[in-house]
Structure 1
Amino acid sequence: MTYEKFQYSKEWKILKELSKGQGLQELKQAQVDASLNRKINWFLYGGASGVITLIKEIYGDEALKKFYQFLDYFISNPDTLGHYYHSDKIKADTKTIADSTQGLNFGEYLEDLKRELVEGDKQKGRG
């Protein structure tokens, strides 16, 4: 039996390339993009948006504007008294995501996210 003409499946070809270090950049990019998406998804559904909604529903639009101003103040001068302090994980995530999403148009990203949210709601029968 000779092994001169192996016919690899598509999956095995990808694994072979990865074993040689080829294609890892794309894999890393996909993981980082997913990480950003997970963080934004957590913000929208994991509680932060719920708190913002409570402020708006209980205290109104003007109070919500004041809260946004306070939030801007809180993150404006990180790692100083009275402001947000970065954890080691956030520092590492910030660098990794910033490096991998260079050139990302965040406005377009948000517009795409709006469309995805509408489609998701339609699929769930909302609205």
Structure 2
Amino acid sequence: MTKKKDEYQLTPFWQEIADITQEPDFQGEGQGIKVDGDSFIYNKLLTFLYRGAVGTLYEIKEALGKEQLDLFLNYIYFYINNSEKPGHYYPSQLVRKQIEEIKQTKDLFDLKDTLNEISRLEFEKHGVKNVKGWLSDESRGETKST
């Protein structure tokens, strides 16, 4: 007889991943991001940034150079545009459903502020305190004295 999914014990690594996926906020240095609205898109952003896609982009940049990364990103823009034409991304029914869900809650979510807060937490995680984040001069190495 096979065990049920909930009868398996997760290793500590996988338990941590499971815990992260259950919480709608990212914890860093004891402070979490305040989600302004839809945690669905927020979780999508965290998945993109921390669970694979950005790692692939970074690998392309480091291994092949910024010029090749720019070429790849241009291809991605081409690929996701014109989904009704052959040779482009074709969204599944699930993706189409999720797009509609995001559209219904888009006024509850400020992408710019959320990305800035993720950036600020990344600075703090790496020991740089009291930084305003990605959209500030500080994110470009121009720290301001207080």
Q: Normalising by structure 2, what TM-score?
A: 0.56
Distance in structure 2 (CA, Å) of the matches to 1:49 and 1:36: 16
2:37 is the counterpart of 1:65: no
- In the alignment, which of 98, 113, 124 is matched to residue 93 of structure 1? 98
| Contact 2:38–2:109 (Cα < 8 Å) also in 1 | no
Map of 2:79 onto structure 1: 74
- In the alignment, which of 30, 34, 37 is matched to residue 39 of structure 2? 34
Shift of the 120–33 alpha-carbon distance from structure 1 to 2, 3 Å rule, reads farther
RMSD: 2.2
- 1:116: Cα distance to partner? 2.9
Long gaps (5+) in structure 2: 1-34, 128-146
| Contact 2:38–2:108 (Cα < 8 Å) also in 1 | no
Task: Give the number of equivalent residue pairs.
Answer: 93
| Contact 1:74–1:84 (Cα < 8 Å) also in 2 | yes
1:25-59, Cα deviation, whole Å (9 max, x unpaired): xxxxx8x7211111111111121111101110110
The structure with more helix, counted as a fraction of residues: 1
| Contact 1:78–1:84 (Cα < 8 Å) also in 2 | yes
Long gaps (5+) in structure 1: 1-29, 123-127
Q: How does 1:1-127 map to 2 (within 5 A)?
A: 33-102=38-107, 104-122=109-127
Give the structure, 1 or 2, with the largest relative contact order (CA under 8 Å, sep 6 or more): 2
Shift of the 107–85 alpha-carbon distance from structure 1 to 2, 3 Å rule, reads same
Distance in structure 2 (CA, Å) of the matches to 1:121 and 1:40: 20
Q: Normalising by structure 1, what TM-score?
A: 0.64
Distance in structure 2 (CA, Å) of the matches to 1:70 and 1:103: 31
Shift of the 36–120 alpha-carbon distance from structure 1 to 2, 3 Å rule, reads farther
| Contact 1:52–1:64 (Cα < 8 Å) also in 2 | yes
Q: Which has the greater radius of gyration?
A: 1
Distance in structure 1 (CA, Å) of the matches to 2:50 and 2:111: 20
- 1:65: Cα distance to partner? 0.7
